[in-house]
Structure 1
Amino acid sequence: MTADATSAAQGCVFCAIVARRARASVVHEDETVVVFMDLHPVTPGHLLVVPRAHAVGLEDLDESTSAHVWSVGHAMARALRRSTMRCDGINVLLCDGEAASQTVFHFHLHVIPRHEGVGWTPDADPPERERSLLDGDAQAIKDAIATRPV
Structure 2
Amino acid sequence: MEKLVEDCLFCKIIRGEVPSYTVFENDDVKAFLDLSQVNPGHTLMVPKKHIVNLFDYTKEDAQQYLQYIPEIANAIKKAFPNVTAMNITTNNGKAANQVVMHSHIHFIPRFEGDGLKLMTRNNADKYDEAKYNEIAEKIKEQF
Smaller-chain TM-score bracket: 0.7 to 0.9
How far off its partner does 1:74 sit? 1.2
Q: How far off its partner does 1:46 sit?
A: 0.5
- Tell me which residue corresponds to 1:36: 32
Matches of 1:72 and 1:106, distance apart in 2: 17
**SS state at 1:35 partner:** strand
Which secondary structure state, in structure 2, belongs to the residue aligned with residue 10 of structure 1?
coil
Which amino acid is the alignment partner of residue 103 of structure 1? V
| Residues 1:18 and 2:8 are matched in the alignment | no
How many residues matched? 117
Which amino acid in structure 2 is aligned with residue 117 of structure 1?
G
Pair 1:59–1:17, CA change in 2 (3 A): same
Unmatched runs of 5 consecutive residues or more in structure 2: 120-143
Seq. identity, %: 32
**1:119-134 matched pairs, under 5 angstroms:** 119-122=115-118
TM-score, L = length of structure 2: 0.74
Aligned to 1:78: 74
Distance 1:119 1:95, change over 3 A: same
What residue in structure 2 maps to residue 143 of structure 1?
A: none
What are structure 1's unaligned runs of at least 5 residues? 124-150
Which protein has the larger Cα radius of gyration, Structure 1 or Structure 2? 2
Shift of 1:53: 0.7
- RCO (CA 8 Å, sep 6+): is it higher in 1 or 2? 1
Aligned residue among 56, 59, 68 for 1:60: 56
Distance change in 2, residues 1:44/1:85 (3 Å): farther
Root-mean-square deviation (CA, aligned residues, Å) is 1.9
- What TM-score, normalized by structure 1, do the two folds share? 0.71
Q: Distance in 1 between matches of 2:113 and 2:47?
A: 33
Q: Which amino acid aligns with 1:16?
A: K
